[in-house]
Amino acid sequence: MSSPAKRFDIFTLFPEVFGPYLDASIMKRACQNGLLEVQLHNIRDWTSDKHHVTDDLPYGGGGGMVMKPEPIFTALESVLGAPPVCPVILMTPQGRLFTHQVAEELSLFPRLALLCGRYEGVDERVRQHLVTDEISIGDYVLSGGELPALAVVDAVTRLIPGALGNPDGPWDDSHATGLLEYPHYTRPPEFRGWAVPEILLSGDHARIARWRREQSLLRTWLRRPDLLEKADLSAADRKFLANLELSE
> Does 136 participate in binding ligand ADE (rule CB under 6 A)?
yes
How many residues lie near ligand ADE (CB under 6 A)?
13
Binding mask 89-108 for ligand ADE (x = CB under 6 A): --xxx---------------
Whether 100 contacts 176, CB under 8 Å: yes
**229 tagged catalytic:** no
214 is catalytic: no
By the 8 A CB rule, do 13 and 42 touch?
yes
Please confirm, yes or no, whether 93 is among the known catalytic residues.
Answer: yes
29 given a catalytic annotation: no
65 binds ligand ADE (CB under 6 A): no
What is the DSSP annotation of 194-214?
EEPPGGGGS--HHHHHHHHHH
Phi, psi of 2 (to 5 degrees): -75, 160
Specify the DSSP class assigned to residue 3.
P
Smallest separation (angstroms) from ligand ADE to the CB of 174: 20
Candidate segments 38-46, 70-78, 136-144, 211-219, binder of ligand ADE by CB under 6 A: 136-144
| Of 22, 38, 88, 137, the one binding ligand ADE by CB under 6 A | 137
Query: What kind and span of H or E run contains 74?
Result: helix 69-80
Name the segment binding ligand ADE (CB under 6 A); options: 22-30, 138-146, 174-182, 199-207. 138-146
| Range 15-24 burial, b when 16+ CB lie within 10 A, else e | bebbeeebee
Binding site for ligand ADE (CB under 6 A): 91-93, 117, 136-138, 140-142, 144-145, 148
